[in-house]
Amino acid sequence: MSHTPTGKILIFTAPSGAGKTTVVRHLLKHFPQLGFSVSATTRPPRPGETDGIDYHFLEPEDFTTRIANGEFVEYEEVYPGRFYGTLYSEVERIWALDKTIVFDIEVKGATNLKKFYPENSLAVFVAPPSKEILFERLRKRSTEDEASLKARFDRSAEELGYANNFDRILVNDVLKTTLDEAEVLTANFLGNRK
């Protein structure tokens, strides 16, 4: 099977809590030519998440079998035993619909995607106004205990150092401004200027 790119790729990445999912959801509402790449993960669904829409929720054994079979464009063990990845089948599904793929993906996965598809891709790093604000946003989510929150803080602090590896940095300070800027970036990338 050929994995030659046939379309464009728009990559949004950020440390957890910086707001990339909010940005991507906004763009999907405003640009019908975008198709959302559903990542695969071994983490359990959170309340309200749907398999195949939010993520492809896989058992760890299934995930590792797919790695061995070469079914992933990229994958990462984000936390011990907690995998995330992009399936080739997902990329091909969206290109078959003649859409530009939009990714909402963690930083190392985004770095790997940009390396794998250097042409026809735009990688945007959504940055918080400061590390302190990012940590406060994560704390307010209150979806985890102190130990996993500390692991997330440590990882987020490390990921902030990757910002300059991407094509653009979008600072998410005032949400309305961030969404407007994301629309302009997307329109320019798609070729329909805003």
What CATH number did the domain enclosing 48 receive? 3.40.50.300
**Between the CA atoms of 10, 11, 16 and 18, what dihedral angle is there, to the nearest 10 degrees?**
-50
Beta carbons within 10 angstroms of residue 142's beta carbon? 8
What are the pLDDT digits (tens) for 154-178?
A: 888 888 888 899 999 999 999 999 9
Structure tokens at 49: 């998440």
Distance CA 122, CA 108 (A): 15
Length of the chain: 194
Give mean pLDDT, residues 59-74: 97
Residue 26 token pair: 């906004």
Q: For the chain, what is the domain count?
A: 1
Residues 93-132: tens digit of each pLDDT: 999 999 999 999 989 899 999 998 998 899 999 998 888 8
Partners of residue 169 on adjacent β-strands = 125
The answer to the question of residue 1 being in a domain is no
If you search the block for the tokens 């035993």, which residue do you land on? 81
3-state secondary structure of 79: strand
Q: How far is the C-alpha of 144 from the C-alpha of 68, rounded, in Å?
A: 31
Mean pLDDT value across the chain: 90
Q: Kindly report the pTM of this predicted structure.
A: 0.87
Specify if 142 maps to a domain: yes
Q: Is residue 4 in some structural domain?
A: no
Q: How confident is the model at residue 1 (pLDDT cuts 50, 70, 90)?
A: very low
Question: What single-letter amino acid sits at 95?
Answer: W
Domain presence at residue 102: yes
The angle, 0 to 180 degrees and rounded to 10, between the axes of the packed helices 175-190 and 20-30 is: 50
Q: Is residue 67 part of a domain?
A: yes
